[in-house]
Amino acid sequence: MTSYPGCDNCRSGNLENLREIMASMNITTEEKAPIVPVSAYDDEQLVASDKVALIISNCMYLHLPKLVTPHCDAETLATALQDLKYKTVTLADLTLAEMKFVLKEYKKLLGNGVYAVFYFVGHGFEVNGQCYLLPVEAPSEAHRPEHCLSMDFVLNELSDHNPALNLLLLDVCRKFIPYVADNTI
The pLDDT tens digits for 56-90 are 999 999 988 899 999 999 999 999 999 999 999 99
Alpha-carbon distance of 117 to 114, in angstroms, equals 10
Query: What is the set of active-site residues?
Result: 123, 173
Does residue 21 lie within any of the structural domains?
Answer: no
Find the range with the poorest average confidence among 77-81, 114-118, 167-171, 172-176. 172-176
H helix runs in the chain, sequence order: 7-24, 70-83, 96-106, 151-159
Contacts of residue 164, Cβ cutoff 8 Å, sequence gap at least 6: 48, 49, 112, 113, 114, 115
- The answer to whether residues 113 and 164 touch, using CB atoms and an 8 Å cutoff, is yes
Strand, coil or helix: 17: helix
Please give the pLDDT value at position 1: 46
Does residue 28 lie within any of the structural domains?
Answer: no
Domain containing residue 55: CATH number: 3.40.50.1460
Does residue 182 lie within any of the structural domains?
Answer: no
Q: What are 173's strand-pairing partners?
A: 123
Please give the pLDDT value at position 162: 81
Tens digits of residue pLDDT in 115-156: 999 999 999 988 888 899 999 998 876 677 888 999 999 998
Please give the pLDDT value at position 115: 94
pLDDT surpasses 70 at 176: no
CB atoms within 10 A of CB 111: 15
Mean pLDDT of the 148-171 span: 90
Helix axes 151-159, 96-106, angle to 10 degrees: 20
Alpha-carbon distance of 149 to 131, in angstroms, equals 9
Tens digits of residue pLDDT in 94-116: 999 999 999 999 999 998 889 99
Does residue 127 lie within any of the structural domains?
Answer: yes
Does residue 114 lie within any of the structural domains?
Answer: yes
Q: Whole domain around residue 166: which residue ranges? A: 42-176
Does residue 88 lie within any of the structural domains?
Answer: yes
Does residue 32 lie within any of the structural domains?
Answer: no
CB atoms within 10 A of CB 71: 24
Mean pLDDT of the 5-21 span: 61
Does residue 29 lie within any of the structural domains?
Answer: no
**Among 83, 121, 90, CA closest to 106:** 90
Report how many domains make up the chain. Answer: 1
Alpha-carbon distance of 177 to 101, in angstroms, equals 27
In this prediction the pTM is 0.73
